């Protein structure tokens, strides 16, 4: 989803209610190759076998719907999103999940209510990452999983991207100031400003480990070939993952947190 149309220092949040029609048209129901070929299959596979799944920042619910029809079928899939228009769009689609309004920073469920929690391309839009992560961790049951999908912080942060240097005749991938936590507004599409809060990978992993979760998997997939159909340097872009998937588990009761 992340684009490189232009960046500026952030001033205020993103109005996801106003963006709901754009999101629906541009990213859902097969409109976006990256979602179809990579994001939905990867994230739903990471939760396969979970019985009660919560999708935090569900948008119009495409991941929740995919999870609801992934074998073995879960008993319950809940999608939450703070934007009323996103929740309305989600509820209007076919499929099994139930939807509620809610923010990742304060969710109305009991501790350990889900054995699968997923948060896909959402936490970058929250300013208080620590609060958000603590809330996600709180909801994961013993032996349950948390799957976090983010724009790859090491390679896709502010100031990162292709540089086509016509003077030196070089093309390379510039990495922005990785350790600098900052929020920027990016115009990801014409007239579509979205605020992103950048934080390094340790700022995701360490709070979750301190909350008793264990990092069990990490995926950095090459972008799908079809997504790069217009690339000016296919070899280079194929070597630059856009996404990072982090899989965590809460040890079952009685098992030590760290072995």
Ligand X SMILES: C[S@@+](CC[C@H](N)C(=O)[O-])C[C@H]1O[C@@H](n2cnc3c(N)ncnc32)[C@H](O)[C@@H]1O
Cβ-based nearer residue to ligand X, 62 or 160: 62
Per the CB < 8 A criterion, the answer to whether 241 and 134 are in contact is: no
44 binds ligand X (CB under 6 A): no
139 binds ligand X (CB under 6 A): no
Least Å distance between CB 169 and ligand X? 37
Cβ-based nearer residue to ligand X, 82 or 200: 82
Beta partners for residue 119, in sequence order: 148
Count of chain residues binding ligand X (CB under 6 A): 20
Q: Write out the binding residues for ligand X, residues 119-138 only, by CB under 6 A.
A: 120-122, 125-126
What track of x and - describes contact with ligand X for positions 213 through 232 (by CB under 6 A)?
--------------------
Least Å distance between CB 96 and ligand X? 16
56 binds ligand X (CB under 6 A): yes
Q: Write out the binding residues for ligand X, residues 79-98 only, by CB under 6 A.
A: 81-83, 86
Q: Which of 1, 117, 147, 188 contacts ligand X by CB under 6 A?
A: 1
Least Å distance between CB 41 and ligand X? 13
- Measured from each CB, the residue nearest to ligand X is 59
57 binds ligand X (CB under 6 A): yes
The secondary structure of the chain, three-state, reads CCCCCCEEECCCCCCHHHHHHHHHHHHCCCCCHHHHHHHHHHHHHHCCCCCEEEEECCCCCHHHHHHHCCCCCCCEEEEEECCHHHHHHHHHCCCCCEEEECECCECCCCCCCEEEEEEECCHHHCCCHHHHHHHHHHCEEEEEEEEEEEECCCCCCCCCEEEEECCCCEEEEECCCCCCCEEEEEEEECCEEEEEEECCCHHHHHHHHHCCCEEEEEECCCCCHHHHCCCCCHHHHHCCCCEEEEEEECCCCCCCCCC
Least Å distance between CB 214 and ligand X? 24
Which stretches of the chain bind ligand X, using CB under 6 A? 1, 16, 56-59, 62-63, 81-83, 86, 103-105, 120-122, 125-126
């Amino acid at each position: 989803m992340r684009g490189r149309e232009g960046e500026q220092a952030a001033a205020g949040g993103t109005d996801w209610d106003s963006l709901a029609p754009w999101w629906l048209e541009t990213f859902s129901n097969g409109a976006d190759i990256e979602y179809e070929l990579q994001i939905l299959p990867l994230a739903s596979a990471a939760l396969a076998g979970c019985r009660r799944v919560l999708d935090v920042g569900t948008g119009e619910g495409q991941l929740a719907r995919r999870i609801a029809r992934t074998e073995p079928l879960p008993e319950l899939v809940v999608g939450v999103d703070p934007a009323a228009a996103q929740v309305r769009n989600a509820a209007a689609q076919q499929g099994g999940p139930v939807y509620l309004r809610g923010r990742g920073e304060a969710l109305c469920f009991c501790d350990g209510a889900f054995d699968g929690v997923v948060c896909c391309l959402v936490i970058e839009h929250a300013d208080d990452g620590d609060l958000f992560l603590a809330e996600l961790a709180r909801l994961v049951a013993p032996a349950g999983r948390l799957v976090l999908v983010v724009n790859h912080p090491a390679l896709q942060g502010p100031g990162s991207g292709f540089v086509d240097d016509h003077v030196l005749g070089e093309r390379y991938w510039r990495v922005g100031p990785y350790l600098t936590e900052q929020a920027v507004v990016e115009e990801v599409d014409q007239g579509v400003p979205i605020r992103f809060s950048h934080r390094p990978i340790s700022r995701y992993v360490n709070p979750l480990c301190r909350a008793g979760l264990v990092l069990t998997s990490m995926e950095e997939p090459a972008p799908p070939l079809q997504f790069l159909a217009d690339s000016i340097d296919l070899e280079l872009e194929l070597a630059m993952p856009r996404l990072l998937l982090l899989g965590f588990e809460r040890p079952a009761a009685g098992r030590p947190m760290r072995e």
